[in-house]
């Protein structure tokens, strides 16, 4: 074998090794991208499902339930080629399609929740922030139009307002139950102020009327607590009882 042929074989071998290494890198990169995509799709699917099931009933509507189902369905269909043997995923896709087909008749089973402490407010606010992120990503993926995205952003802003209104109203009602009318009055005032700060305050007229009635009730209770009770014994009343009718002039002198 001539030196030229040996050199040629060595060069070919080097190119083969480089080619094999490059192909391996491509395969590894492709597998890594698939793994990342699978993890991202599964995470977003889980978030949509959790939001659909966990948002308080007073904030969940058929339209919101349906748009979350649409987003989750799109993510699930994109995930299916990566997990063809996943029977649970296939079943979930069929369930989501059936839900979406119901349009506004889609079932909303989320129970209402009282929001009366900061931990509950934070929990729901985080859910609404996550909802905003899912809507924004759906617009970016062209699943929702720009106009739909803007509508849902406005709806999320409304839900945030509802969250804080219900929080202050809940604090006020709780304070009334604890016979703390001054604290209740402050909470109702905060709720009313929050409504009046909203761009579309007319949407909250029913809540505003109820809160104003509760505020009037709290004010009445505060005045009742502050006003001396004529039936309660005091040094002055006890002293008055000690006077005889004949000593009426003494009473006048007291005054």
Burial (Cβ within 10 Å: 0-12, 13-18, ≥19) of residue 90: middle
What span, in angstroms and rounded, lies between the C-alpha atoms of 187 and 197? 16
Mean pLDDT for 58-78 is 95
Residue 251 has a pLDDT of 39
**Model confidence pLDDT, tens digit, residues 15-66:** 677 777 767 777 777 878 888 999 999 999 999 999 999 999 999 999 999 9
* Distance of alpha carbon 109 from alpha carbon 52, whole angstroms: 10
Sequence-separated (6 or more) residues with CB below 8 Å from residue 151: none
Residues 61-89, mean pLDDT to the nearest whole number: 93
Q: Kindly state the DSSP code that residue 202 receives in the 8-state scheme.
A: G
Residue 83: per-residue pLDDT: 86
Task: Give SS3 for 59.
Answer: coil
The predicted pLDDT at position 10 comes to: 66
Residues in the chain: 255
Taking the CB of residue 25, how many other CB atoms lie within 10 A of it?
10
Average pLDDT, the chain: 84
Q: What is the mean pLDDT of residues 238-245?
A: 44
Gap between the Cα atoms of 69 and 74, Å rounded:
9
Residue 125 binned pLDDT confidence (cut-offs 50, 70, 90): very high
């Amino acid at each position: 074998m001539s030196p030229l042929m040996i050199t040629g074989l060595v060069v070919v071998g080097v190119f083969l090794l480089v080619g094999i290494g490059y192909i391996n890198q491509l395969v590894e990169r492709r597998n890594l991208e698939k793994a990342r995509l699978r993890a991202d799709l599964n995470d977003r699917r889980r978030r949509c499902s959790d939001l659909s099931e966990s948002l308080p009933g007073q904030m969940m509507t058929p339209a919101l339930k349906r748009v979350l189902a649409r987003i989750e369905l799109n993510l699930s269909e994109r995930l299916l080629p990566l997990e063809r043997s996943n029977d649970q995923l296939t079943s979930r896709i069929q369930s989501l399609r059936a839900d979406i087909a119901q349009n506004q008749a889609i079932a909303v089973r989320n129970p209402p929740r009282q929001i009366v402490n900061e931990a509950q407010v934070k929990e729901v606010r985080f859910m609404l922030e996550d909802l905003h992120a899912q809507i924004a990503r759906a617009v970016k993926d062209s699943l929702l139009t720009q106009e739909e995205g803007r509508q849902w952003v406005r709806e999320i802003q409304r839900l945030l307002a509802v969250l804080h209104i219900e929080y202050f109203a809940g604090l006020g009602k709780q304070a009334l139950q604890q016979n703390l009318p001054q604290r209740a009055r402050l909470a109702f005032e905060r709720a009313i102020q929050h409504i009046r700060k909203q761009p579309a305050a007319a949407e909250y007229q029913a809540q505003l009327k109820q809160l104003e009635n509760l505020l009037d009730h709290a004010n009445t209770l505060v005045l009742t607590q502050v006003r001396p009770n004529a039936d309660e014994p005091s040094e002055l009343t006890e002293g008055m009882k000690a006077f005889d009718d004949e000593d009426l002039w003494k009473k006048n002198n007291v005054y």
